[in-house]
Amino acid sequence: MKEITAIIRRDKLPETKQALEELGYPSLTIQSVDGRGKQKGAMCAEMDSEMPESFCTSARLKPTPSTYALEHTLPKVALYVPKRLLTVIVPDDVVTKIVKSLISVNRTGKHGDGKIFVSPVTAAVRIRTGEEDGEAIA
């Protein structure tokens, strides 16, 4: 079994859920997260569908300073971009198919498309029935 964790754009969530369902894996966990990549949260140069047109001058979107930023003098406050974090546990033999589907749905070619991580899962137990491993994730 593998755990596939994907950090994606918020507006890609419906398409992603539909793609996973069509592959036969509708069970997933979704979290709202904030983060930044190599661009350090700077999205003004290349606007995308996640940010309003007035993002750079918007008063309602305020930077969230880190603890480090509050204790040190930094040239600019780091912005954290809102994303969705999806987690799905799947059998080993479908990992490649799921990852390719996630890439297909979420790739826009712009900064901020996200990341996918694949990790091993050593055990799974369905609490209600006590089913273990493959039966627990089915």
Contact 90, 98 (CB under 8 A): yes
Q: What is the pTM of this model?
A: 0.74
> What pLDDT digit, counting tens, does each position of 38-96 carry?
776 665 444 445 555 555 544 444 555 666 666 666 666 567 889 999 999 999 999 99
What does the DSSP 8-state code read for residue 23?
A: T
CB 44 within 8 A of CB 100: no
According to the CATH classification, is domain 2-39+80-137 in 3.40.50.1360?
A: no
The answer to whether residues 81 and 112 touch, using CB atoms and an 8 Å cutoff, is yes
List the domain boundaries for the chain. Answer: 2-39+80-137
Say what the pLDDT of residue 43 is. 55
pLDDT at position 70: 66
